[in-house]
Copies of this chain bind each other. A is one copy, B any other.
Amino acid sequence: MNRDSLEMRSTVRADGTLRLELATVHLPEPGPGEVLVQVEAAPINPSDLGLMFGPADMDSLRVEGQALTARIPDRAMPALKARIDQPLPIGNEGAGTVVAAGPDRQDLIGKRVAMLGGAMYASLRLIAVKDCMVLPDSASSEQGAALFVNPLTALGFVETMRAEGHKAIVHAPAASNLGQMLVRICMADGIGLVNIVRSKEQAAMLRDLGAVHVADSSTDSFRDDLTEAIAATGATLCFDAIGGGETTSIVLNAMEAVAMRSMTSYDRYGSAVMKQGYIYGALDTGPSILRRGFGFSWSVGGWLLFHALQRLDPATVDRMRQRVLAEMTTTFASHYTARITLEQALQPDTVAAYVRKSTGAKFLLTPQKP
């Protein structure tokens, strides 16, 4: 049994160079409770790009021998102090076939599993069985590659809504794989959802999926459409993966405009309706601008899947995972526009394509394909 894995690593050096390369790692035999998995599919999520390239200047990308390098702006270096000279493995999630197992889990050999836990951009992954979900025999690795981050995030939004007493959700940008899952979940569960998209095509795609409320920021009627959709659903909670710019601010102001419709007297402090915005991504790494026309009953905060899972009770999390598995080819199906190998992932042209983060473009790493 060959246990040499080709693993993607990202290293930041003190001189401000970022280095991305493939390293060969010899993995130990799986111990009790562990399996060795041949990684067959791993999605490139925005959160993976954060670790791969950090705040590097993408115009400075160059090939250096077998590696890819880029420069990191000086002002970004202080935040990276803790990762200097550490070759960090990449890839939050993936799926593949169990090729070896600890003495207690020989039953899993030959099974396909979905995995969460980092270091998935590799040919082999040694992993604890508890961090895997065993896939049905009918499922492909591609179908199992993205069953954690997006599905649990979408379900996490709904659980956060319930836990914090809101009744509907605004989501931006809503045409992503995650956004499409959220549309399906909210339809199935009867939850009001306001989808913010950035083009007519995205709006049409979501409506085809069954989305009722779509507000297209590329149109003149965007703010009116958004306000009416918020009025129709009663949404007081927003999840925003754009982060920079005014998206969350526009949504909170629209929520306040709706809340003011039912106020019977003037209050200089605005409505008493609590409006919550969560920023869960940074597609735009620029500053978040809050135009505070929404009174004093508001909160904007960071939202992170891992923190949310820790706050939920284990039974809820287990229920979420069971639902993902049961609906993996329907609610939680992801779609990819390109499949690339580990080597291709280091080619500047390919990098330029997958870092673009445009909604609708989604890359899948397939380490076993030639």
Q: Give the CA-CA distance A297 to B78 in the complex, in Å.
A: 18
Q: Is A282 an interface residue (CB 8 A)?
A: yes
Q: Looking at the complex, which of A35-43, A163-171, A259-267 is the stretch in contact with chain B?
A: A259-267
Q: Give the CA-CA distance A3 to B260 in the complex, in Å.
A: 36
When C-beta atoms are compared, the residue in chain B nearest to A51 turns out to be B268
Q: Looking at the complex, which of A79-87, A95-103, A346-354 is the stretch in contact with chain B?
A: A79-87
Q: Is A28 an interface residue (CB 8 A)?
A: no
Best-buried of A80, A81, A82, A307 by chain B (most CB within 10 Å): A82
- The answer to whether A302 touches B299, judged by C-beta atoms less than 8 angstroms apart, is yes
**Min distance, Cβ A355 to any Cβ of chain B, angstroms:** 15
Best-buried of A54, A280, A282, A299 by chain B (most CB within 10 Å): A299
For chain A, which range describes its interface: under 10, 10 to 19, 20 to 34, or 35 or more residues? 35 or more
Q: Looking at the complex, which of A151-159, A198-206, A285-293, A359-367 is the stretch in contact with chain B?
A: A285-293
The one of B50, B80, B301 that contacts A298, using a Cβ cutoff of 8 Å: B301
Chain A 19-54 near chain B by CB (<8 Å), digits 1 or 0 = 000000000000000000000000000010011001
Complex copy number for this chain: 2
**Min distance, Cβ A237 to any Cβ of chain B, angstroms:** 14
Q: Give the CA-CA distance A257 to B82 in the complex, in Å.
A: 11
Q: Is A134 an interface residue (CB 8 A)?
A: no
Chain A 132-167 near chain B by CB (<8 Å), digits 1 or 0 = 000000000000000000000000000000000000
Given contacts A82-B260, A268-B51, contact A292 B297 (CB under 8 A): no
- The answer to whether B290 touches A297, judged by C-beta atoms less than 8 angstroms apart, is no
Q: Is A295 an interface residue (CB 8 A)?
A: yes
Q: Is A303 an interface residue (CB 8 A)?
A: yes
Seed contacts A80-B266, A86-B266; 10 additional CB < 8 Å A-B pairs: A50-B268, A272-B307, A285-B292, A287-B289, A287-B290, A288-B290, A289-B289, A299-B299, A299-B301, A299-B302
List A residues at the B interface (Cβ < 8 Å).
47, 50-51, 54, 78-83, 86, 88, 243-244, 249, 257, 260, 263, 265-269, 272, 279-280, 282, 285, 287-293, 295-304, 306-307
Q: Which 9 A-B pairs have the closest CB atoms?
A: A296-B302, A299-B301, A83-B266, A82-B266, A296-B304, A288-B290, A287-B291, A51-B268, A287-B289
